């Protein structure tokens, strides 16, 4: 009876190749992707066949949720602070350095100027929770939205306005926003859509 000799194999696997692949993937993701902005409301943009990409800098985006709440965001923090300052002085509200700092961190804002101070006093997580309930007032009696746009444009004239609205938003709200923009002679702007494949749409 002879013993069956089992060859001892090393269980070591060379991870170099794997490491190469992961580094490649990582580089790809880092270079091609952009960070998702934190948005207070979920917005599904309608599809279109348009293939123009949105420019990367100097974007003043207006977010409109299905219920008609309006939020805004800018891509530069310095612009945000300056805009807050000038809007504040327009309504007779002054902000402390600390409040400005907090405002700067928030990526999207949409708070009536009267509640802004109370809102900025909240902690980060609480801010996220309540922000969805607010929205910049756009009605004709108290059109703070118009003031925001006007001041933002004064701070940075290079801003391109982009409207991002949910596909179920009633036209009434959009019309309101567009009219406010028209009143400010902002008649060139972008509408953000998601890519729709034309062949799928032909069915």
Partner 1 sequence: MAEIQSNEGGGKKKKGGSKQKKISVHVDFTPMVDMNMLLITFFMLCTSLSKPQTMEISMPTNDNKITEKDKDAVKASEAVTLLLTGGDSVFYYTGQANVKDYSSLKLSSYKADGLRAFLLKRNTEAVNKINDLKEQKVQLKISQEQFKKQVSEIKGGKGTPTVIIKASDRATYKNLIDALDEMQICNIGKYVIDKITPGDNFLIKNFRNKGALTQGTSK
Kindly list the residues in this chain that would bind partner 1 in the complex (CB under 8 A).
14-16, 18-19, 22-23, 25-26, 29-30, 32-36, 45-54, 64, 162, 164-172, 174-175, 178-179, 181-183, 185, 187-196, 198, 201-203
CB-nearer residue toward partner 1: 2 or 171: 171
Q: Report which DSSP code applies to 66.
A: T
CB-nearer residue toward partner 1: 29 or 123: 29
Cβ atoms < 10 Å from Cβ of 54: 12
Q: Whole-number minimum distance, CB 1 to partner 1, in Å? A: 34
Distance CA 41, CA 62 (A): 12
Say if CB 70 and CB 146 are below 8 A apart.
no
CA dist list (Å): 41 to 22, 23, 98: 34, 35, 26
Q: Whole-number minimum distance, CB 65 to partner 1, in Å? A: 11
Distance CA 174, CA 27 (A): 40
Q: Whole-number minimum distance, CB 89 to partner 1, in Å? A: 28
Distance CA 62, CA 47 (A): 18
Distance CA 150, CA 157 (A): 10
Pairing of strands 160-165, 70-74: unpaired
Name beta bridge partners: 111: none
CB-nearer residue toward partner 1: 7 or 36: 36
CB-nearer residue toward partner 1: 86 or 143: 143
Q: Whole-number minimum distance, CB 196 to partner 1, in Å? A: 8
- Provide the 3-class DSSP secondary structure of residue 58: coil
Question: For residue 121, what is the enclosing H or E element?
Answer: helix 116-121
Q: Whole-number minimum distance, CB 46 to partner 1, in Å? A: 4
CB-nearer residue toward partner 1: 8 or 185: 185
Q: Whole-number minimum distance, CB 166 to partner 1, in Å? A: 7
CB-nearer residue toward partner 1: 54 or 78: 54
Longest dimension (CA), the chain: 101
């Amino acid at each position: 009876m002879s013993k069956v000799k089992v060859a001892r194999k090393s269980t070591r696997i060379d991870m170099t190749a794997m490491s190469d692949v992961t580094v490649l993937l990582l580089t790809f993701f880092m270079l091609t992707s952009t960070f998702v902005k934190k948005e207070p409301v979920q917005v599904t943009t309608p599809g279109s066949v348009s293939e123009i990409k949105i420019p990367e800098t100097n974007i003043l985006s207006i977010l409109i949720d299905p219920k008609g709440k309006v939020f805004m965001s800018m891509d530069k923090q310095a612009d945000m602070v300056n805009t807050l300052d000038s809007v504040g002085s327009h309504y007779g509200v002054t902000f402390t350095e600390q409040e400005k700092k907090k405002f700067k961190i928030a990526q999207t804002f949409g708070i009536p100027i009267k509640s802004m101070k109370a809102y900025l006093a909240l902690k980060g997580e609480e801010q996220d929770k309540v922000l969805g309930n607010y929205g910049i007032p756009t009605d004709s009696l108290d059109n703070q939205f118009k003031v925001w746009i006007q001041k933002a444009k004064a701070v940075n004239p290079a801003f391109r306005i982009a409207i991002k609205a949910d596909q179920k938003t009633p036209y009434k709200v959009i019309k309101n926003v567009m009219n406010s923009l028209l009143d400010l002679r902002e008649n060139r702007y972008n509408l953000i859509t998601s890519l729709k494949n034309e062949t799928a749409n032909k069915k």
